[in-house]
Amino acid sequence: MSDPTLTLIKSLSGAGGAEYSVDVQSLLVITTLAFLPGLLLLTTSFTRIIIVLSVLRQALGLQTTPPNMVLTALALSLTMFVMRDVVHQEQDKALNPYLAGQISFSQALAAAGPPEQNFMLAQTRKAPMHLFVDLSGGHYATPQDVPLTVLVPAFATSELETAFQISFLIYIPFVLIDLAVASILMSLGMIMVSPTLISLPLKLLMFVSIHGWVLVLGTLANSFAQSG
């Protein structure tokens, strides 16, 4: 089954196979830029990374440190690292041939789809995929035949599940520290002292001593490599 997005693009180019004019191409590029934030959230590794980093900040007990801008920039940089192979494939198969005049604009768009689709398929769990395939009412011979209208929500749902699983494992050690500090303070009769005042520096000390950022970011990057 052909992808509806590609069908729309082909219809816009004309039944006779006419190519896009420069003005139309510029309009399409500017329109696409408006959807880039949504595409970044739903079709790349950004969703999993930003959720895990946000939960990590909450587990440490830091409400605004690191700031949201720093977390977003860190998630973007790690997303670029994880997606580097996909970007290189799209550049080799679509962008460079198009800039060299070897293929048309429509052909470049069609060639840029498979690398991104293969990445999402490698990260998508079976349960979300089966759910949205059943909801769509379609029957596809191979996973590569699944259109983006079905693959994108399945991929996003799978990323949420994976992000919450990683976040749960990260959260457990910090909860144990909070419970231990609260129990010690209660046994000493210091009920007026906030456990956060004691647990926060302990959690920071533990996190820094075990090179926590290296472990978390390395685990996030490796999770995509293992799934792929």
Distance CA 201, CA 115 (A): 45
- pLDDT per residue as tens digits for the range 64-121: 888 889 999 999 899 889 888 888 888 887 777 777 777 777 777 777 777 888 888 8
Task: Report the predicted TM-score, pTM, of the whole model to 2 decimal places.
Answer: 0.75
User: How far apart, in Å, are the Cα atoms of 90 and each of 77, 81, 86, 171, 222?
Assistant: 19, 15, 6, 37, 22
The confidence score (pLDDT) of residue 135 equals 83
Q: Which residue has the higher pLDDT, 59 or 34?
A: 59
pLDDT digits (tens, 9 = 90+) for 194-209: 777 788 888 888 888 9
- Check if the beta carbon of residue 91 is closer than 8 Å to that of residue 203: no
Percent of the residues in the chain that have a pLDDT greater than 70, as a whole number: 87
Query: What mean pLDDT is predicted for residues 119-129?
Result: 87
Task: Answer whether residue 146 shows pLDDT above 50.
Answer: yes
d(CA 64, CA 70): 10
Between the alpha carbon of residue 102 and those of residues 24, 78, 152, the distances in Å are 19, 33, 30
Q: What angle do CA 51, 53, 59 make, to 5 degrees?
A: 100
